[in-house]
Amino acid sequence: MIIDSGSCTNVASVTLVRKLGLNTINHGRPYQLQWLNECGVVRVNRQVMISFSVGKYKDEVLCNVVPMHATHLLLGRHWQFDRKVKHDGFKNMYSLEKDGRIYTLAPLSPKRVYEDEIQLKKGYEEEQHVSAKMEKQAEQLGEDVRKREKKVIHELKTKRNKVSALRTLGEGHDQEQKK
């Protein structure tokens, strides 16, 4: 999770939504987003309600769904404004009050950030591997179907030739009997 006052929106990754099997809704006002990864411009047309917790703090936030690799959940200015979050830039801590209780959210240690980045990268690479494997299986199935179609067509032609030959023989037999 990243809290980013530079982001104009709350964002959930496509990977998070897919892996958790979350139901999405149509975005009321779809738009294009210039994203800072390989995707370039992304069409934002889906939203999802995300429930999350950090320590004892629990919350739920409506997020736009986009492909991203930096994190699974990005809380932007909307979340910060709605929750009246205060940011201590020196300590890099966020404080907010919810249900009469004050919560302070602190960043992860650099070691933990690195470990999380490694996990995210592994997950992304596994997802790419599985996707490539599924595409290969689909191609193989398509090839198998094409082979079966050719075989069936060949068998139909063979049967049609046999039927035609039998008809010719039958017509010849009928003509002999008429004589």
Residues 6+ apart with CB under 8 A from 107: 92, 93, 113
What local confidence, expressed as pLDDT, does residue 32 receive? Answer: 86
Four-way CATH pick for 2-107: 1.10.287.130, 3.30.1130.10, 3.60.20.10, 2.40.70.10: 2.40.70.10
Tokens coding 61: 């936030």
Q: Which strand ranges, in their side-by-side order, compose the sheet holding 86-88? A: 86-88, 93-98, 101-105
2: three-class secondary structure by DSSP: strand
User: What is the pTM for the complete model shown?
Assistant: 0.58
Higher pLDDT, 69 or 66: 66
**The predicted structure's pLDDT at residue 141:** 83
Q: What is the pLDDT of residues 10-56, one digit of tens each?
A: 999 999 999 899 999 999 998 888 765 566 788 899 999 999 998 88
Domain map (residue ranges) of the chain: 2-107, 109-179
- Report whether pLDDT(137) > 60: yes
Q: Do 52 and 61 form a contact (C-beta atoms < 8 A)?
A: yes
pLDDT of the residue at 37? 57
Whether 64 contacts 75, CB under 8 Å: no
User: How do residues 71-107 score in pLDDT, each as one tens digit?
Assistant: 889 999 989 999 999 999 888 899 999 989 999 988 8
